[in-house]
Structure 1
Amino acid sequence: MNIQDKTIAKGFILSGLMNLTVLIFSRFFSNSTIPEYDPVVMSNFGLLMIVIWGLAYISIAYDYEKVKWLVAVFAIEKSIYGYIWIKWMLDNNVSEVYEKDIMAGLFYSIYGINDLIFCVFFLLVFIKTTNITKVP
């Protein structure tokens, strides 16, 4: 495993750990403010699924080249969450969330940025593993 592969592996681990921070922001699913402001996507079940996605990212950190299409799925998943966040930010007032709960406000302020950054990361890894930039 070369330095670039180690860096990519760390990216998968970091992405997974970032998803696991939902446990902190949600106070292990006891913070009712997060689901209150987005009861469909950020229900306690939705937050649990974010944790599961994070574990999936970590699980392939050292074998990502073997599952390049799964990496593409990760990029799609992150783009969906990024889109949902942008839409949420345009339709809601995050300062209201901060007034009710600082942790929920922080969560809503940053989760989409995180998802968009890792969407780009997964997309770049997918491109690298498929060699689609190389001309035959």
Structure 2
Amino acid sequence: MTDNLIKKGFWLAGLSNIFGVLICSKALTNDVMLDAQPAVMGYFGLISIILWGLAYISVSKTYDQVKWLVGVFVVEKLAYVAAWLSFITSQSLDSVYQQDFLAGVFYTIYGANDFIFMLFFTFVFLKGSQAKS
């Protein structure tokens, strides 16, 4: 994977966090989304996701200098994948969709999205480990 493609990957990860939250939460006003998983996707959680997105973008040009921060991104994405799996196995997506389509879309895809970016960050982290060897 080229350096330019990795930079774009960080931007894509950041923008998907920022716009995914803002669109699906209707600019933090979607009560269905906020209430479906309040410990993870309440106001504080959604704002945190936006901040993580800004963090990804902020290191897009210097990711090779902050290998351990990229490692933190891996763990952070793993935590969200685990939270999503917990939600999917204990809640009804149909119920969320019936209440609000965008909330349903969000809860359908956020785990898969985070899993894909967890793999991306893992690749970047391991690439950084090999480059230093």
Structure 2-normalised TM-score? 0.96
- Counterpart pick for 1:7 among 5, 8, 13: 5
Q: Give me the whole-angstrom Cα distance separating, in 2, the residues matched to 1:73 and 1:36.
A: 27
1:26 aligns with 2:25: yes
- Map residues 1-136 of structure 1 onto 2, 5 A cutoff: 4-20=2-18, 21-131=20-130
In terms of fraction of residues, the more helix-rich structure is: 2
Post-superposition offset of 1:44: 1.0
Deviation per CA, 1:6-52, whole angstroms, max 9, x where unpaired? Answer: 00000000000000120010011010001111111100110010000
Aligned residue pairs: how many? 132
Q: Give me the whole-angstrom Cα distance separating, in 2, the residues matched to 1:88 and 1:32.
A: 17
The percent identity for this pair of structures is 45
Q: Which runs of 4+ in 1 moved over 6 A?
A: none
Q: Give me the whole-angstrom Cα distance separating, in 2, the residues matched to 1:24 and 1:86.
A: 22
1:49 partner amino acid: S
- Aligned-CA RMSD value: 1.4
Q: Give me the whole-angstrom Cα distance separating, in 2, the residues matched to 1:28 and 1:15.
A: 19
SS of alignment partner, residue 66 of structure 2: helix
Unaligned 5+ runs, structure 2: none
Q: Give me the whole-angstrom Cα distance separating, in 2, the residues matched to 1:16 and 1:112.
A: 15
Structure 1-normalised TM-score? 0.94
